[in-house]
Chains A and B, each alone.
Chain A
């Protein structure tokens, strides 16, 4: 049984909007997910026999979340270095 990652893109009221690593978007009631789910939470989810995510198996993966945020922050920091700053004319 293989696992896939879904990240919580945002919480809209009682709904969680998840984005899979294949960029599919899924709306799920928050009650179907672990209670500690927040915006940015990364979930490791098992695929069922039918190849669809088994949401009951969803587990929070804090390490993967931190890895993604760190990699993105480093990329942002590198790009921001060349910002001329201040007011500009385009």
Chain B
């Protein structure tokens, strides 16, 4: 069984690890079981948001040949978000590290913060600030100032969840929003204090728990794609069927890592994007499931002429699973990208 899983990971990586165009933003919601981890690449720059609950994320880094991460964000210090962080810090050069600045008592956190210090990474406070990462801009949504430092002061809420670091990724006209495990207290704070805008992709807060989604939050973000990072058979009832229904009811296509495996978003700066998932079946064979999502952008709003096309190249030409400049030579084997009809 374990061999099948390893084979699945290897095949998933082999099928999707090809370099993207420098003009694209890549977001990978990694299948790390119950927990969060997302790898974002913009040109030569790499961002990791959370590290899952175990060292599994390191396998992805190795498979993608990533030995330097420009910025790591720990949305908050729960073990299902930082459990793999020590492994990340030991297996890659991390240039900058940001967390929510709220200490935790677990051994997982204590070792993580020791590893951050030992790594020499530049620590960044989670204040409202803009971080330019290649062609992408990262707008940090800082936690509300009034959140108690521990839940001994506010036992009904999680101080870690409600102090999650939020990150709005802006790549030209494309926008994606990450909010860790924010609960309603923090989401409401941002709704009232930040310019929460419509985005293309949302990472659903708190693994699809009811306390991480509200009607107001859905209306404000109004995404076309909502991704839930969640482990199969977890003990916590994640994700909630009602939460999935709410996002779908608002028109979002919902992906979940327990069923879809890792979810890959390839975005262009005109706001068009493609979502692909990789999932190992029982035979260890990975199936790519092409999906053209954005129907508001002319570049990809044309009818998809072939179900095999995961991407229609209206500018440049098809190369493997992506589009490249028409003047460039394609070095990829045939993939699922197609040239648009003249």
Decide whether A and B are members of one complex: yes
CA distance A11 to B159 in the complex (A): 11
Residue of A nearest to B78 (CB): A10
Q: Is the CB of B129 within 8 A of A87?
A: yes
Contact with A along B326-338 (1 / 0, CB 8 A): 0000000000000
Q: Is the CB of A23 within 8 A of B111?
A: yes
Q: Is the CB of A40 within 8 A of B151?
A: yes
Is A25's CB within 8 Å of the partner chain B? Answer: yes
CA distance A10 to B163 in the complex (A): 13
CA distance A17 to B104 in the complex (A): 13
Q: Is the CB of A75 within 8 A of B113?
A: yes
Stretch in B118-126, B222-230, B277-285 touching the partner: B118-126
Is B95's CB within 8 Å of the partner chain A? Answer: yes
Contacts of B149 in A (CB 8 A): 69
Contact with A along B98-115 (1 / 0, CB 8 A): 000101111111110110
Residue of A nearest to B206 (CB): A12
Residue of A nearest to B161 (CB): A10
Stretch in B130-138, B172-180, B191-199, B253-261 touching the partner: B130-138
Contact of A89 among B123, B132, B159, B209 (CB under 8 A): B132
CA distance A42 to B176 in the complex (A): 37
Contacts of B111 in A (CB 8 A): 23
Q: With A72-B110, A89-B132 as given contacts, are A40 and B105 in contact (CB-CB < 8 Å)?
A: yes
CA distance A66 to B116 in the complex (A): 21
Is A90's CB within 8 Å of the partner chain B? Answer: yes
Q: Is the CB of A83 within 8 A of B123?
A: yes
Contacts of A50 in B (CB 8 A): none
Q: Is the CB of A76 within 8 A of B131?
A: no
Residue of B nearest to A75 (CB): B113
- Considering residues A23, A27, A64, A71, which has the most beta carbons from chain B within 10 angstroms of its beta carbon? A23
Contact of A80 among B53, B109, B125, B236 (CB under 8 A): B125
Chain B, interface size category, equals: 35 or more
CA distance A25 to B45 in the complex (A): 33
Is A1's CB within 8 Å of the partner chain B? Answer: no
Contacts of B209 in A (CB 8 A): 12
CB under 8 Å from chain B, chain A span 34-90: 38-42, 64-65, 68-69, 71-73, 75-76, 78-80, 82-90
Q: Is the CB of B236 within 8 A of A13?
A: yes
- Considering residues A11, A20, A80, which has the most beta carbons from chain B within 10 angstroms of its beta carbon? A11
Q: With A17-B79, A75-B117 as given contacts, are A90 and B45 in contact (CB-CB < 8 Å)?
A: yes
Residue of B nearest to A10 (CB): B78
CA distance A37 to B313 in the complex (A): 56
Contacts of B45 in A (CB 8 A): 90
Residue of A nearest to B121 (CB): A79
Is B96's CB within 8 Å of the partner chain A? Answer: yes
B206 vs chain A, min Cβ distance (A): 9
CA distance A77 to B53 in the complex (A): 25
Contact of A19 among B106, B124, B237 (CB under 8 A): B106
Q: Can you give 25 A-B contacts (C-beta < 8 A)?
A: A7-B107, A10-B79, A11-B151, A12-B209, A17-B80, A22-B107, A23-B83, A39-B158, A39-B159, A40-B104, A40-B151, A40-B152, A40-B159, A41-B152, A42-B105, A65-B105, A68-B110, A69-B149, A72-B113, A78-B117, A80-B101, A83-B125, A85-B129, A86-B129, A87-B132
Enumerate chain B interface residues (CB-CB to A < 8 A).
Answer: 45, 53, 70-71, 78-80, 83, 95-96, 101, 103-111, 113-114, 116-117, 122-125, 127, 129-133, 149-152, 155, 158-161, 209, 235-238
Q: Rank and list the top 10 A-B pairs by shortest CB-CB distance, nearest first.
A: A72-B103, A79-B123, A12-B236, A19-B106, A39-B151, A89-B132, A7-B105, A7-B106, A87-B130, A68-B105
